[in-house]
Amino acid sequence: MATAQRAGRCDVHGEYKVPGGKLVVVDLEVDDAETLREVRVSGDFFLEPDDALERMNAALAGMPAASDTPRLTQALEAALGPEVVMLGFSAQAVAIAARRALARATDWLDHDWHLIHDGPQEPALHMAIDEVLAREVADGRRPPTLRIWEWAAPCVVIGSFQSLRNEVDAAGAERHGITVVRRISGGGAMFIEPGNTITYSLYAPTSLIHGMSFTESYAYLDDWVLGALNEDLGIKAWYQPLNDITSDAGKIGGAAQKRLATGAVLHHVTMAYDIDADKMVEVLRIGREKLSDKGTPSAKKRVDPLRRQTGLPREEIIERMVAHFRKRYGLVDHALTAAEREDSETLAREKFATREWTARVP
């Protein structure tokens, strides 16, 4: 994101790539009165009639620089009217781009991304690595990072605010040798067996998602994996708000997110490669209300494995996903540092492997 200072005003530049859509760019000036001036909207979108572009510019000009995304969206929609056709973007997308300009947001290509894909780790250690790497990125000691997980043991990962006894059948978990761990992000429970899931985390500065709500940032941060699924794996996939990746054949996976007050976002996703549905429903307490909310009569039909949809080995799917990320944003192979591993092992032992943390919501 470029910023220029001139007498009496500040020039800023913001971009927003609509997930599954087009790029929207907003250049504008902020004057001494903290008002938007000289607004210039552009992008590779489609728009009719032609003069609608000038209407967008005029709608934003004169708005207070403190305006949030909903207020900017409202002003744009009022100026455009129902006859305007917008393909590949929306008034909200323009408002997000403007807000990102004002917030001095960064873009994917502003960062040097690192890749970590280590060997299998115990469940509690994975939870700890997530927290440690997010802190390291927030503190500027690590560049933004994509981490691919490998699991050393079967487990259930519950969300930070879920009730342990409401989500997990303790007898079923014990019978099948399933460890239960709690992550630091919200969201629902995940049933994990080594080799049967694809899990990844993104650790990035919050500047990457400036100007976006939680809902908007979920789709934005996973747009690259939707690209990999559609372009490289032949799956017609899309994002189902708030946090599901799905296809015509069924749900593929789900995302969760944690924003650290110190300046980083942790975003992680688990996708099903293969799944033992019978075992899953013996371990997870999936209520009728949750199933009906998803429009499905059976838990076994809620998640559709990537193995069936692609016919590819799990390792090849991961390779294609990583290659797609590398092609889009660049990626340098890396590993946990000795200090990061030591901190993670300590945190796993003192927090994530303890009953106090796992049962913090009984």
Tens-digit pLDDT profile for residues 163-204? 999 999 999 999 999 999 999 999 999 999 999 999 999 999
Does one domain contain both 113 and 98? no
Number of domains in the chain: 2
| Percentage of the chain lying above the pLDDT 70 cut | 93
Contact present, 357 and 181 (Cβ < 8 Å):
no
Pairing of strands 197-205, 9-17: unpaired
Contact present, 236 and 246 (Cβ < 8 Å):
no
Pairing of strands 264-272, 197-205: antiparallel
Compute φ and ψ for 210, nearest 5 degrees.
-55, 140
Does one domain contain both 97 and 116? no
For the entire predicted model, the pTM comes to: 0.90
Does one domain contain both 157 and 65? no
Contact present, 156 and 284 (Cβ < 8 Å):
yes
| Percentage of the chain lying above the pLDDT 90 cut | 86
Does one domain contain both 227 and 93? no
Confidence (pLDDT) at 250? 87
Does one domain contain both 322 and 237? yes
C-alpha angle 310/316/321, rounded to 5°?
Answer: 85
Place of tokens 């690595």: 129
Does one domain contain both 262 and 335? yes
Does one domain contain both 92 and 115? no
Does one domain contain both 97 and 112? no
Q: How confident is the model at residue 214 (pLDDT cuts 50, 70, 90)?
A: confident
What rounded mean pLDDT belongs to the chain? 92
Mind listing the pLDDT tens digit for each residue in 105-137? 999 999 999 999 999 999 999 999 999 999 999
**Domain end among 83, 102, 121:** 102
What number of other Cβ atoms are within 10 A of residue 173's Cβ? 18
What lies within 8 Å, CB to CB, of 80 at 6+ separation is 52, 55, 56, 59, 86, 91
pLDDT at residue 260 greater than cutoff 50: yes
Mind listing the pLDDT tens digit for each residue in 275-317? 998 899 999 997 434 544 544 455 555 577 899 999 999 999 9
From CA 64, how far away is CA 10, in angstroms rounded? 14
Which domain CATH number covers 151?
3.30.930.10
Does one domain contain both 266 and 330? yes
Does one domain contain both 22 and 146? no
Place of tokens 């590779």: 44
**Domain end among 76, 102, 128:** 102
Confidence (pLDDT) at 9? 61
Does one domain contain both 88 and 135? no
**Domain end among 58, 74, 102:** 102
Mind listing the pLDDT tens digit for each residue in 236-254? 999 998 899 999 888 999 9
The boundaries of the domain holding residue 98 are 3-102
Which domain CATH number covers 46?
3.30.390.50
What number of other Cβ atoms are within 10 A of residue 118's Cβ? 13
Average pLDDT rounded to a whole number, residues 323-329: 98
Mind listing the pLDDT tens digit for each residue in 328-348? 999 999 999 999 999 999 999
Average pLDDT rounded to a whole number, residues 217-239: 95
Does one domain contain both 350 and 304? yes
